[in-house]
Chain A
């Protein structure tokens, strides 16, 4: 019997609407009590005085690169980085090699995760075979194998006819279709947000409307088919507006935003650092403001990192050639805490967007500290100051624009299934 007592923290549980100082008792992988001053014996004690205690974070959108690109990351290192960032569950995208468009690959991923990953891993299967955007995958078989959602992320389904059928069919398995919404023909060769910054830098621009046009199309198809559309990494005011209006009409659409799209604008690309190259690109200040407001008012449901490791030699090339994407797990919390510090979100609301909402979208048992819930917990020190050095992080890769940046707020401890898997003073402890 294993027992952990998390003592004296501010418990933030959006599931029950709780925001108060409490002790939390975990036993055999389950939450058994949440109360002021719990008395118990034989428990490992985690001192959470001055800390927040929340349900472990759930990341809707990550790239673990295994199978096929293990030099960038694998399920083991990704899982370690995830728990170091407070994520107890991660959904990993299908753009691996081979693509996760077959139950055998889904099995493999889950098998690896069981063996190597301290965090829970939920595979997102491809929506079309080989991510080619032509023929849909065997959704039923994939769900049976353990897939929680479908997405061609990494690519976009350009053919509207195909997207319609994908959305229609997904209603059979009642799982969300996650869209990387960028009209490729409008993106063309764009690598930075189209606007004054792309003009100054002399780099091809990727216009905001490439996202808006595509989100609009996807929403209309979702509306028509009744499917659950989930919009990945929203970055523009235009997309936000479409989602808001669709929600008002009763369309089943959910949305996520990354920490970097909440914190950085296209001005960050001024030095041509390829660690500021993402897809979708960093946008102008108005788009960033719109996304922050949308996250606050619930139009955007969740925060998802889009953790995208790339090797150094892949990033140290010309800006137009470098693969887009940055690490996300270990910087997410301090970056999004800024919204709480600026009074745009309450701590409870933040936790909801990091944990409760994503769990609800994926339909996985997480996101709450209710008695009987799985013991996935994160203990946070919201004011701890530190400097981020990706070389000391747990990912195999180092591609982050926050390399060397001062951060405020960190994960003190992470518990998955009732086991302490990470502690800031001791590192990753499992598996």
Chain B
């Protein structure tokens, strides 16, 4: 893998994705051993720079780093300098001076990991930036589908929900398209991004049409606090029209799988039944998350930028 940062799926080649997935499968094998730890990144420091709180993703990265024997440091918004509203780039420069081997960045505004990567010598891994991208989530979703279905080429993937605000949607759109799937997005008109079809997907406001023949159905989390009233009238109406249940799943293929990046709003995006049972593979997604993040850390942490790349900046 040539690039030293993982900012998004948009800039990855299919070959990069395949390498990451293959490496993640090797890391899964580690998870089956008694001693799940390897000395690979011993003595290396990984910093979790989380401007937006997230226990799940942060813990996943932490476990991944520790299984590779790295030292993992957590900087979250509740700790010192970040709450002083130091400028983002000042924080990055300070961190750069401490020479970490990898920095995992999460922020609720798009573009922050990229700007930090511009300033930091260490590799930057985007753990989610605003509505832009969440590459490790999409990669673990791709891994999950590859292992459930044996392939990704030729599958039909339908993503349902608040697409306009969703980084998971964007990263998955790029990922599944690059790996040869057909991708559809569905949601209320107010939640479909402008010109979304320029990304290469077909957009639907009818669940039935969107689910017709789908192999994979991915439900996205609705931000209840923000959106009820503004983008859709009520949770009840959203659940009725776009919530996934066994009934609406009828339109998809018989062996379709259901995915969700979590945490699930039970009874809204997914019915209670679907949230906890097959065909939903949510726990596999979480499990795969650690192996996937180990793969990304293995491939990137501690790598120095090549001289040519430095000059290109």
Inter-chain CA distance A319–B130, complex, in Å, is 11
Q: Given A194-B194, A196-B194, A319-B111, are A203 and B88 neighbors across the interface (CB < 8 Å)?
A: no
Would A201 and B198 count as touching, CB distance under 8 A?
A: no
Interface size class of A (residues with CB under 8 A): 20 to 34
Inter-chain CA distance A202–B194, complex, in Å, is 11
Inter-chain CA distance A195–B199, complex, in Å, is 12
Inter-chain CA distance A319–B111, complex, in Å, is 7
Question: Within 8 Å CB of B195, what residues of A?
Answer: 195-196, 199
Indicate which residue in A196, A203, A316, A317 contacts B110 across the interface (CB closer than 8 Å): A203
Would A317 and B88 count as touching, CB distance under 8 A?
A: yes
* Contact mask for chain A residues 304-321; partner B; CB cutoff 8 A; 1 contact, 0 none: 000000000100111111
Inter-chain CA distance A328–B67, complex, in Å, is 53
Question: Within 8 Å CB of B194, what residues of A?
Answer: 194-196, 198-199, 205, 207
* Contact mask for chain B residues 83-124; partner A; CB cutoff 8 A; 1 contact, 0 none: 000011110000000000000000101111011001000000
Would B110 and A201 count as touching, CB distance under 8 A?
A: yes
Question: Within 8 Å CB of A316, what residues of B?
Answer: 87-90
Question: Within 8 Å CB of A202, what residues of B?
Answer: 110, 129-133, 167, 170
Task: Kindly state whether residue B22 has any CB partner on chain A within 8 Å.
Answer: no
Q: Given A200-B10, A202-B167, A317-B87, are A272 and B133 neighbors across the interface (CB < 8 Å)?
A: no
* Most chain A CB within a 10 A radius of its CB, from B112, B130, B132, B196: B130
Task: Kindly state whether residue A42 has any CB partner on chain B within 8 Å.
Answer: no
> Closest B-chain residue to A272, C-beta based?
B111
Question: Within 8 Å CB of B90, what residues of A?
Answer: 313, 316
Q: Given A271-B114, A313-B87, are A199 and B109 neighbors across the interface (CB < 8 Å)?
A: no
The distance from the CB of A210 to the nearest CB of chain B, in whole angstroms, is 13
Inter-chain CA distance A198–B110, complex, in Å, is 10
Q: Can you list 28 contacts pairing A with B, beta carbon distance less than 8 Å? A: A196-B195, A196-B198, A198-B193, A198-B194, A199-B164, A199-B194, A199-B195, A199-B198, A199-B199, A201-B110, A202-B129, A202-B130, A202-B132, A202-B167, A202-B170, A203-B110, A203-B132, A205-B194, A207-B194, A272-B110, A272-B115, A313-B87, A316-B88, A316-B89, A317-B88, A318-B107, A319-B109, A319-B110
Known: A203-B130, A318-B88. 17 other contacts (CB 8 A): A195-B195, A196-B194, A196-B195, A196-B198, A198-B193, A199-B194, A199-B195, A199-B196, A199-B198, A201-B132, A203-B110, A205-B194, A272-B110, A272-B114, A313-B87, A313-B90, A317-B87
